[in-house]
Amino acid sequence: MAETIQGNDTEKPVWKPDRMDEKIAKQRLNVILMVDCSTSMRGERIGQVNHAIHDIKQYLTDLQNENVNVDFYLTVITYSTEAFLLNHDRMKAVEEFDFKDIRAGGWSNLHTAYLQLADLLKKEAKGGIMPDFGGVAPIVLLLTDGHPTKWPLTEEMEILNKLPWFKVAIRYGIAIELNDGRTVQVLRDFVGENGDVITCFDAKLLEKIIKIIVMTASKVKSSDSTTTQGIGQNTENQVTNDIRQQIQQTISDDIDSWEWQDD
């Protein structure tokens, strides 16, 4: 239960109210990165991801300075055999986020990351990182190169799908250099109707994609939730469509810069 300000029984007040203008915060936009750091990510792949996250941090800091409405907060979940919060930080203001390179090694236990995510996507009063009042849909990016060790992930997805904050979250699955049908399916199950799976081949593109997602997702307006329709089940969610279009554009713009592989 949230703390309340107490008076006592005498007539004299013991509380002193703040000035009315103080303590108004900008909207908080939580960006959660779920990063696969299993053994297969060793070498160039984790290098790409580390580079991208360094740049994302810089990028979000710059964006924030230009944006009067929103403060970005970053949380990074790394997972291999187990899932951890990077630096044990949850919901760190982006300019204070201290990023150290992630090392790769271990199994790919994505299910542990799902459970970690479930803990985060609750109201603060219930132990999560989402605000008690209002709030903006969080952005969750899952970066992986290969199929999870435990599969299927039905149980963990059921837990996530029951969370209203997960249902509204804008989710993207970013597949680092893979063409594995099973992994694509896992990513599709994760993103559902509220996002997309992107096959990503370099950190620059990754950075661009993340930029678009974050910028577009910060524009949201109120809607009604009806039990028949359900939260986040609006199959033509305008924000998701905008993001899709812009990402397609980005990918096709960049196509000339890809190396063509000879068959």
The answer to whether 158 contacts another protein (rule: CB under 8 A) is no
For the purposes of burial, counting CB atoms within 10 Å of the CB of 244, is it exposed (0-12), middle (13-18) or buried (19 or more)?
Answer: middle
| Structure tokens given for 12 | 């004299």
Going by the DSSP 8-state scheme, the letter that residue 230 receives in this structure is: -
What are the φ and ψ backbone dihedral angles of 250, each rounded to 5 degrees?
-60, -45
Judged by CB under 8 A, the residue of 65, 154, 179, 228 near another protein is: 228
- Which residues, other chains included, contact 250 with Cβ-Cβ below 8 Å and sequence gap of 6+? 205, 208, 209, 212
For the purposes of burial, counting CB atoms within 10 Å of the CB of 35, is it exposed (0-12), middle (13-18) or buried (19 or more)?
Answer: buried
* Residue of 50, 19, 59 lying closest to 213 (CA atoms): 59
Judged by CB under 8 A, the residue of 13, 43, 127, 181 near another protein is: 13
Interaction pattern, residues 27-56, with another protein; x per rule: CB under 8 A = xx----------------------------
The answer to whether 125 contacts another protein (rule: CB under 8 A) is yes
The answer to whether 23 contacts another protein (rule: CB under 8 A) is yes
CB of 124 to another protein, least distance (A): 6
Question: How many residues of this chain bind another protein (CB under 8 A)?
Answer: 55
The answer to whether 220 contacts another protein (rule: CB under 8 A) is yes
| Structure tokens given for 28 | 């908080």
First to last CA, the chain: 62
The answer to whether 71 contacts another protein (rule: CB under 8 A) is no
The answer to whether 130 contacts another protein (rule: CB under 8 A) is yes
The answer to whether 127 contacts another protein (rule: CB under 8 A) is no
Judged by CB under 8 A, the residue of 153, 168, 187, 198 near another protein is: 168
Q: Which residues contact another protein by CB under 8 A?
A: 2-9, 11-28, 69, 123-125, 130-137, 163-165, 168, 220-228, 231, 235-236, 238
